[in-house]
A = this chain, B = another copy of it.
Amino acid sequence: MAKLGFIGLGIMGTPMAGHLLAAGHALFVHTRSQVPQTLLAAGAQPCTNGADVARQADIVFTMVPDTPDVEKVLFAPGGVAEGLSAGKTVVDMSSIDPIATKDFARRIEALGCDYLDAPVSGGEVGAKAASLTIMVGGKQEVFDKVLPLFQLMGKNITLVGGNGDGQTCKVANQIIVALNIQAVAEALLFASKAGADPAKVRQALMGGFAASRILEVHGERMVKRTFQPGFRIELHQKDINLALSGARQLGLSLPNTAMVQQLFSACAANGMAALDHSALCRAVELMGHHTIAPDA
């Protein structure tokens, strides 16, 4: 059994850490607020800071909200870097900036340690069910070493490439998911306003080239008007911001991604930031003064 660390015990981190504990590993933990009682009862050992976690554990997982949080957890005074010694491994499972990630990896490797970026998709449901999709960037041998631990938390686990490529893949995922939601929203709104039954249209489209996971899951939410999260608009806004700030740094134009960010902002301005991202359809509904289906 390994000595593991886990930093960031929020909605995602708590069940993920729980799976590592349940497999019998020693788990040293730290989080901004209080360590959940369930984890303490299962044997998690609380540490005073990230440096302390890194001193006790051989592999340290981080799962925090955003790029500055990862930087702070790793490199601020009392952070992970302070407690690392050569041969240890840092695995960042947060969803953050791919370009900053390459820098974080270089700084960790300069300490004689290994780094993986391993953001996930699948949300709270996937975290609890240990069915997360995990997109990994880093060296093959480090991936091979950590893979049995990833398999305790997820199902669809891919080494995409070198450091940063896991985060890049996650950004690509969030671009497609947002734009596919918008695609379904524009199509079903058109169908509904033209007088067709959006539920039947969705059903007919599922068999052809319009078929997607988003048409299946989020299309149904739009028709049934069930917008409780799921994945909140305010979180998807953060991910699309990574896409757009990255595109600016890389010199790329992503016109539909930029438009969707504006439509997410319209949703947030109308009090929908905490709704499921399928409520992105509300922005075009508001503009057209028509809903895909009557609100329940």
Q: Residues of A with Cβ closer than 8 Å to B?
A: 98-99, 121-122, 133, 135, 137, 155-156, 158, 160-162, 164-165, 168-169, 171-173, 175-180, 182-184, 186-191, 193-197, 200-201, 203-205, 207-215, 217, 243, 246-247, 250-257, 259-260, 263, 284, 287-290
Nearest opposing residue in chain B for A159, CB measure: B200
B residues near A208, Cβ cutoff 8 Å: 121-122, 133, 156, 173, 213
Contact assessment for B209 and A211 in the assembled complex, using a CB-CB cutoff below 8 Å: no
Given the interface pairs A190-B246, A251-B289, A284-B254, the reply to whether A195 lies near B168 with Cβ below 8 Å is: yes
Contact assessment for A175 and B190 in the assembled complex, using a CB-CB cutoff below 8 Å: yes
Nearest opposing residue in chain B for A254, CB measure: B186
The dominant DSSP class at the A interface is helix
Besides the known contacts A179-B180, A250-B288, 13 further A-B residue pairs in the complex with CB atoms under 8 A apart: A168-B194, A173-B205, A176-B187, A176-B210, A176-B215, A179-B179, A179-B256, A189-B254, A211-B213, A253-B287, A254-B284, A255-B263, A256-B260
Nearest chain B CB to A187 CB, angstrom units:
4
Contact assessment for B197 and A160 in the assembled complex, using a CB-CB cutoff below 8 Å: yes
The 8 Å CB contact of A98, one of B180, B194, B254, B257, is B194
B residues near A164, Cβ cutoff 8 Å: 194-196
Contact assessment for B165 and A207 in the assembled complex, using a CB-CB cutoff below 8 Å: no
B residues near A259, Cβ cutoff 8 Å: 255-256, 259
Contact assessment for B255 and A190 in the assembled complex, using a CB-CB cutoff below 8 Å: no
Nearest opposing residue in chain B for A217, CB measure: B209
B residues near A250, Cβ cutoff 8 Å: 190, 193-194, 288
Contact assessment for A207 and B133 in the assembled complex, using a CB-CB cutoff below 8 Å: yes
Q: Once the chains are docked, how many angstroms separate the CA of A176 from the CA of B204?
A: 13
The 8 Å CB contact of A205, one of B169, B182, B203, is B169
| 10 nearest A-B pairs in the assembled complex, by CB-CB distance | A179-B183, A212-B212, A156-B207, A172-B187, A176-B210, A158-B204, A252-B288, A253-B287, A165-B196, A133-B208
Nearest chain B CB to A256 CB, angstrom units:
5
Contact assessment for B253 and A284 in the assembled complex, using a CB-CB cutoff below 8 Å: yes
Nearest chain B CB to A40 CB, angstrom units:
32
Q: Once the chains are docked, how many angstroms separate the CA of A243 from the CA of B191?
A: 10
Q: Once the chains are docked, how many angstroms separate the CA of A175 from the CA of B287?
A: 18
Q: Once the chains are docked, how many angstroms separate the CA of A172 from the CA of B219?
A: 12
Nearest chain B CB to A174 CB, angstrom units:
8
Contact assessment for B176 and A190 in the assembled complex, using a CB-CB cutoff below 8 Å: no
Contact assessment for B256 and A190 in the assembled complex, using a CB-CB cutoff below 8 Å: no
